[in-house]
Amino acid sequence: MKELKPAILFVIVFTILCGGIYPAVVTGIASAVFPKQAKGSFITDKNGRMVGSSLIGQPFSDLRYFWPRPSATSDFGYNPVASGGSNSGPTNPDYLKTVADRVKSLHDTGIQGNVPADLVEASASGLDPHISPEAAKVQVPRVAKARGVTEEALNKLVAAHTEDRQLGILGSLRVNVLALNLELDKLAP
Amino acid sequence: MNPYEWLQTILFFIALLALIKPFGTFMAKVYQGERTFLSPVFVPCENLLYRICGVDTDEEMGWKVYAAGLLLFNVMCGVALFAILLLQGVLPLNPQKFPAFSWHLALNTAISFTTNTNWQNYSGEQAASYFTQMFGFTVHNFVSAATGMVVAIALIRGFVRRKASAIGNFWVDLTRSILYILLPLSLVYAIFLVSQGVIQNFSDYKTVPLVQPTTYDKPRLDDKGNPLKDAKGNPITESVTAQSVTIPMGPVASQEAIKELGTNGGGFFNANSAHPYENPTPLSNMAEIFLILLISGGLTYTFGRMAGNPRQGWALLAVMLAILILALGVLYWAESNGNPLVAKLGVYGINMEGKETRFGLAGSSLFTVATTGTSCGAVNTMHDSLTPLGGMMPLSLILLSEVIFGGVGTGLYTMLAFVVIAVFVAGLMIGRTPEFLGKKIEAREMWMSIITVLTSGILILVFSGVAMMVPSAVASMANPGAHGLSEVIYAFASMSNNNGSAFAGLNGNTIFYNLTGAVAMFIGRFAPIVASLAMAGSLAEKKYVPPSLGTLPTDKVPFVLWLTLVIVIVGALTFFPALSLGPIVEHLTMLGGN
């Protein structure tokens, strides 16, 4: 039992070092060098009011807005304190019914033919801020009609908000839905 | 696969392979007490720690003392975390006023983090205070990773030392793992992750107005907080409009870095590395996958270098890479085909359920095989929603005892147990005394290797079987039929192998899963550790037998193939029936359209 004393002392030492000093140092450097990111990448409007985070998606269901991906967070979609996916298995009958309902509600808004998977399948985090460029494009006619703007103007807006692969290689092409909708409100209020 | 996905996957592996040798060399120097570029800063710190804790650095330990120190230290760590979780309500740094964990959840969580499993039956943003995350979980991410690493190093010493009674000093190995390897890398990576958008602060959760308020049906509660039901038993709901949402904050980056580096995997948030605040960009995603594989990959070179034959280390890495890339290919293929049942509904594209848009399929697939080949268990994709054959890949990688890179240290010592078995079986076939690195492999080594390799398999099959007979355990399944069985097998596979990822539909926060899981994690962690240390002790005592004509070369291609086969056959023989009833049946029903 000679090892009991160092066992206890090392638990205390490493708790202070790894649990106290290390996170404190990271916080200090991070808030000095990358203050915006460290705080949560929040977006403010021209009055300085916080309107959301560019990393956290928001629920949109109005015909006048581009819709995000479905979200399986509890209470309501895009609830940031309840991150998570649906965890539905691929053959679960309830899940297949949910997807069929989502396809129908898209068709009800005038979208025709097959729809892109990301627009009817829930994300892993439930907070995914992005949709694919295809998912944005199929919504253009609906938003154009609801806002009374030309589809051409909206296509341009979507193209301008399509983020390239990072460093030209990594990840996929994507559109930030919140940023796109905020811009939409400025373009055609 | 589009060319970008090929390119990013290939570049990833090139970058990883390029770092194996320099990083493996660095780790070997650290454990052998040689000077490195960090020595001028850290040697004084190191000596200070030894003085505070009363450690004599010249004292070498036999395997029993080494194991006793390791177990005592880990038990103390577990007790400390258990206490923090039970006292959470009265401890500081708790802006959301989270209450204490229930005793069985606290027990499960304490053992989960002590054993490097990081199975989580709670959701971080709704249950854990900043104090718990930092002084509890972050600390355990470091110490449990270091524990795995020192066992691997002790086992290497067993192979290298001749007629020796000692295998090193546990306290010195532990301190060096944390001070020279884990802390500096975590610090650099945490800052890098913040640059990508991972948060790092101590603010209260932020309330943010919604651009478009959202309306939803909220269940009505009675005075006691139970949901009210109407005469037909349906819940009574009322329509509520949310004008704003609450966004959780916290010191995330500091935990994220060590969570990946130490193959721990316990997410700050419920969505783990799928959460945009844990993994905001495709680049942060690749960096996190890189961290997951870095130490386990590097340790193969450390092993080769310490054993005086770097080719031996490369041989082990080749086995790991071969199986990892095979699993990656199958997973990518299965997911890119999409879900035929969903396609029938008028949907095109890959299976996107449980995936994030930004990572792309390559980034999601690579993360999934990396996190389950190692014992990490962080997820950027919800494994429960993968297609049946896709989901079988992470499950199979865990079932192979996590030697495909494996957890930090655990991957190497489990792989060495497989090597011992492979050498022994080959030795029997060619009629020679089996030997590895000049050490004779005898009954004792075989016993210890078998304990290391088979403990988790026994735990998985026994506990999954028991769960099928307990109605309340069956009721925890989120998906019906074959998929539900996959959820339960995955849960016990994940806990017994200290992975921590989940087919997360299963509701694990019940007394049954909390307690059986705690037992599975504890035995699954410490039985192989003690067996490996015992093997280290027994090997160190042996004399060196120089290689002769009859010695099986273990650093050449035929042995690499043989070792791969042994790993696959042991895994297949143990789990084929279970896999047939779960994912394989589900795949066939999916193709059949039911």
Please tell me whether residue B123 adopts helix, strand or coil conformation.
coil
User: Which of B181, B214, B247 marks a domain boundary?
Assistant: B247
Contacts of B191 in chain A (CB under 8 A): 26, 29-30, 33-34
pLDDT at A161: 95
What digits encode the pLDDT tens for the residues B203-215?
Answer: 999 999 999 999 9
User: Which of B221, B247, B273 marks a domain boundary?
Assistant: B247
Q: Give the closest-approach CA distance of A156 to chain B in angstroms.
A: 21
Q: B517: which 2 tokens? A: 């899981």
Distance (Å, whole) CA B222 – CA A36: 43
What digits encode the pLDDT tens for the residues A5-47?
Answer: 999 999 999 999 999 999 999 999 999 999 999 999 999 988 8
pLDDT at B585: 87
Contact A40 B251 (CB under 8 A): no
B83 near A CB under 8 A:
no
How far separated are the first and last CA of chain A, in Å rounded? Answer: 74
Q: Do A144 and A117 contact (CB within 8 A), yes or no? A: no
**Cα Rg of chain B, angstroms:** 24
What digits encode the pLDDT tens for the residues B539-558?
Answer: 999 999 988 877 888 999 99
Query: Does residue A187 have a pLDDT over 90?
Result: no
Q: Let me know whether B101 and B234 are in one domain.
A: no
Alpha helices, H only, B161-252:
170-176, 183-196
pLDDT at B318: 96
Tally of domains within chain B: 2
Residue B509 lies in a domain: no
Q: B82: which 2 tokens? A: 């258990």
Region B260-286: mean pLDDT is 95
Q: What is this model's ipTM?
A: 0.96
Residue B242 lies in a domain: yes
Q: Report how far apart, in Å, the C-alpha atoms of B297 and of each of B102, B301, B315, B406 are.
A: 38, 7, 12, 9
Contact B352 A117 (CB under 8 A): yes
B176 near A CB under 8 A:
no
Residue B483 lies in a domain: no
For A168, counting Cβ atoms within 10 Å of its Cβ (0-12 exposed, 13-18 middle, 19+ buried), the class is: exposed
Q: Let me know whether B131 and B215 are in one domain.
A: no
Region B417-422: mean pLDDT is 95
| Closest to B429 (Cα-Cα) out of B559, B285, B260 | B559
| Closest to B265 (Cα-Cα) out of B383, B75, B118, B441 | B118
What digits encode the pLDDT tens for the residues A38-86?
Answer: 999 999 988 888 999 999 999 999 999 999 999 999 889 999 999 999 9
User: What residues contact residue B28 under an 8 Å CB cut-off, 6+ apart?
Assistant: B301, B302, B305, B306
Contact A69 B590 (CB under 8 A): no
Q: Which of A99, A116, A169 sits opposite B349 (nearest CB)?
A: A116
DSSP structural state of residue B229:
B
Contacts of B261 in chain A (CB under 8 A): none
Q: B189: which 2 tokens? A: 């990576």
Q: What is the pLDDT of chain B when averaged over all its residues? A: 92
* Placement of tokens 């139970």 in the chain: B226
B162 near A CB under 8 A:
no
Q: Let me know whether B179 and B150 are in one domain.
A: yes
Share of residues in chain B with pLDDT > 70 (%):
99
Contact B125 A81 (CB under 8 A): yes
What digits encode the pLDDT tens for the residues B87-101?
Answer: 999 999 999 899 999
Q: Give the closest-approach CA distance of B461 to chain A in angstroms.
A: 22
Region A104-113: mean pLDDT is 92
B242 near A CB under 8 A:
yes
What digits encode the pLDDT tens for the residues B61-81?
Answer: 999 999 999 999 999 999 999
pLDDT at B234: 77
- The type of residue at B216 is Y
Q: Let me know whether B31 and B119 are in one domain.
A: yes
Residue from A1, A10, A103, A164 whose CB has the most chain B CBs within 10 Å, to mutate: A10
Least confident of A30-39, A42-51, B360-369, B529-538: A42-51
Q: B332: which 2 tokens? A: 């990518």
Contacts of B258 in chain A (CB under 8 A): 18
Q: Let me know whether B121 and B210 are in one domain.
A: no
Angle at B449 between CA B448 and CA B452, to 5 degrees: 90
H-helix or E-strand spanning residue B439:
strand B439-440
Q: Which of B170, B187, B483 sits opposite A89 (nearest CB)?
A: B483
The whole domain housing B216 covers 206-247
> Which residues in B140-170 are b (16+ Cβ under 10 Å) and which e?
bbbbbbbbbbbbbbbbbbbbbbeebebbbbb
pLDDT at B272: 95
Query: Does residue B446 have a pLDDT over 60?
Result: yes
The residues pairing with A50 across neighbouring beta strands, listed in sequence order, are A44
Contact B251 A34 (CB under 8 A): no
Region B292-312: mean pLDDT is 96
What digits encode the pLDDT tens for the residues A114-157?
Answer: 999 999 999 999 999 999 999 999 999 999 999 999 999 999 99
CA B107 from centre of chain: 19
For A185, counting Cβ atoms within 10 Å of its Cβ (0-12 exposed, 13-18 middle, 19+ buried), the class is: middle
Q: Report how far apart, in Å, the C-alpha atoms of B352 and of each of A2, B276, B325, B581 are.
A: 55, 16, 22, 25
- Return the higher-pLDDT residue of B580 and B532: B532
Band of pLDDT at residue B1, cut at 50, 70 and 90? low
Q: Let me know whether B274 and B210 are in one domain.
A: no
Query: Does residue B335 have a pLDDT over 80?
Result: yes
For B105, counting Cβ atoms within 10 Å of its Cβ (0-12 exposed, 13-18 middle, 19+ buried), the class is: buried
Please tell me whether residue A163 adopts helix, strand or coil conformation.
strand
pLDDT at B146: 97
Q: Do B264 and B141 contact (CB within 8 A), yes or no? A: yes
Residue B551 lies in a domain: no
At residue B575, what are phi and psi to the nearest 5 degrees?
-115, 0
Q: Let me know whether B238 and B134 are in one domain.
A: no
Q: Which of A18, A75, A87 sits opposite B505 (nearest CB)?
A: A87
Q: Give the closest-approach CA distance of B231 to chain A in angstroms.
A: 23
* Closest chain A residue to the Cα of B55, Cα to Cα: A6
Q: Let me know whether B193 and B168 are in one domain.
A: yes
User: What residues contact residue B242 under an 8 Å CB cut-off, 6+ apart?
Assistant: A76, B210, B213, B214, B215, B216
Query: Does residue B163 have a pLDDT over 80?
Result: yes
Please tell me whether residue B41 adopts helix, strand or coil conformation.
helix
pLDDT at B476: 84
| Closest to B451 (Cα-Cα) out of B521, B522, B517, B532 | B532
At residue B477, what are phi and psi to the nearest 5 degrees?
-65, 140
pLDDT at B594: 54
Contacts of B357 in chain A (CB under 8 A): 69, 118, 123, 128, 130-132, 172, 174
Q: Let me know whether B239 and B286 are in one domain.
A: no
Query: Does residue B576 have a pLDDT over 90?
Result: no
Query: Does residue B339 have a pLDDT over 80?
Result: yes
> Which residues in B197-216 are b (16+ Cβ under 10 Å) and which e?
bbbbbeeebbebebbeebee
Q: Let me know whether B110 and B221 are in one domain.
A: no
Contact B186 A96 (CB under 8 A): no
Band of pLDDT at residue B233, cut at 50, 70 and 90? confident
User: What residues contact residue B406 under an 8 Å CB cut-off, 6+ apart?
Assistant: B263, B296, B320, B373, B374, B375, B412, B414, B415
Q: Let me know whether B89 and B157 are in one domain.
A: yes
Q: Which of B135, B143, B360 sits opposite A171 (nearest CB)?
A: B360
A39-44 contacts: CB < 8 A, separation 24 or more? Answer: A39/B199, A39/B201, A39/B203, A40/B199, A40/B201, A40/B206, A40/B247, A40/B249, A40/B277, A41/B197, A41/B280, A42/B206, A42/B208, A43/A178, A43/A179, A43/A182
Query: Does residue B523 have a pLDDT over 70?
Result: yes
Band of pLDDT at residue B401, cut at 50, 70 and 90? confident
Band of pLDDT at residue B228, cut at 50, 70 and 90? confident
Residue from A74, A119, A123 whose CB has the most chain B CBs within 10 Å, to mutate: A123
Contacts of A115 in chain B (CB under 8 A): 346-348
Contacts of A69 in chain B (CB under 8 A): 352, 357
* Placement of tokens 């996929």 in the chain: A172
What are the structural domain ranges in chain A? 4-36, 40-187
Distance (Å, whole) CA A99 – CA A114: 13
